[in-house]
Amino acid sequence: MFQIDFASREPIYEQIYNSVIKLASAGVIKSNDKLPPVRTLAGQLGINPNTVVKAYHMLENDGYIYSTVGRGSFLTDKLSKNSAQKIMAIKEFKEAVQKAKLFGIKIDELLEIISETERGGESVD
């Protein structure tokens, strides 16, 4: 479910953080769902448990998950499928398209950028 790009400049703990948001946004995981235990996820990804801990702490700090010793880490409802953040992202994308148009950037260029991003980005499934 989680996938890490070790070549990326983006820190692993941040990739995990983003993965949780992506998975929640895509509806793959939902409120109150349990995340993999730190040791388990670390094992699956072949990384150090501390790195997972760091990501989980960030998520908890931001109110996206809550953790209890002995039970595990669970999604809050802050990351429901149609969150305000998703709406914001769409809005910002629209603005970026407008601005690009304003400066005479061709549609083909935008499409090219999107497909580049697609190739470069990590897949989440």
Q: How far is CA 117 from CA 51, 80, 120, 121, in A?
A: 26, 25, 5, 6
| Helix orientation angle between 49-61 and 12-25, rounded to the nearest 10 degrees | 50
Q: Is 21 within 8 Å of 84 (Cβ atoms)? A: no
Cβ-based nearer residue to DNA, 22 or 37:
37
Burial letters 72-84, b for 16+ CB under 10 A, else e:
ebebbeebeeeee
Shortest Å, Cβ 62 to a second copy: 13
* Residue 83 near a second copy by CB under 8 A: yes
Interaction of residue 3 with DNA, rule CB under 7 A? no
Binding residue for a second copy (CB under 8 A) from 34, 40, 43, 96? 96
Shortest distance (Å) from residue 56 CB to DNA = 5
Q: How far is the CB of 70 from a second copy (least distance, A)?
A: 31
Does 50 participate in binding DNA (rule CB under 7 A)?
yes
**Interaction between residue 20 and DNA (CB under 7 A):** no
